[in-house]
Amino acid sequence: MEIKNIFFDLDHTLWDFEKNSALTFELLFKKYNLDIDLNSFLVVYVPINLKYWRLYRNEVISKEYLRYNRLNDVFKKLNINVSSDLINKISYDYIENLPKFNYLIDGAHELLLYLKNKYRLFLITNGFRNVQANKLKNSGIDIFFDSVYDSESIGVKKPNPLIFNHALKDSNSIAKESLMIGDSFEADILGSLSVGMNAIHYINFGEKEHDKCIIVNNLIKIKDII
């Protein structure tokens, strides 16, 4: 694999979304005096959030719809009476506070340090522009990337080939010399492969194994592959 350019996904790949999200909800439940068991909440929230992100990724819903309804659905399923006004406040505060927590996936910082002097590094993310920028800055990994390509700025989301082609063209990268590393089979792997890029699938959150590309369960293993 002769690679010159490496494109990373952010959430679930480098930035520990689940841990940071849990800490954010813990903070907000205390702020609004909500007597909710965090673990019980997360068991319901995580799959509902993934469902809404798939809809958002496929251009079916807006980010405002996603932010409100993922919470509304969880509260309804848990039979917790929360007003629409409070849901909107929590939704807003969640986005504001989420980037303040800085936990990375195990091995992420070590891998970036190893790769930085060997390859050009970029980021392609479906997250919201300002939120993702704050995550990168607050976790101290913004310094590793030459450019960050977010779906909100570009106007399309992974796996749409347009976002990958835009990133390749803007970074002066050739697809066959470029590698995408991400956790989502549909968004990161199929999306990047569709434009001729190489891919490594980091599986750590329940994605099924496949034969489309190299699979790792530990980020540090990537050092031995490339």
pLDDT in the model for residue 128: 85
pLDDT in the model for residue 98: 97
Model confidence at 96: pLDDT above 70: yes
1 pLDDT band, cuts 50/70/90, is low
Average pLDDT over residues 40-49: 96
Task: Give all strands (DSSP E) within the chain, no chain letters.
Answer: 5-8, 120-125, 147-150, 178-182, 198-202, 214-216
Alpha-carbon gap, residue 220 to 208, rounded angstroms: 20
| Domains of the chain, earliest start first | 5-16+104-225 (3.40.50.1000), 17-100 (1.10.150.240)
Average pLDDT over residues 82-97: 97
Please state the pTM of the whole predicted model: 0.94
Query: In which residue are the tokens 């704050």 written?
Result: 134
Alpha-carbon gap, residue 135 to 142, rounded angstroms: 8
pLDDT in the model for residue 204: 85
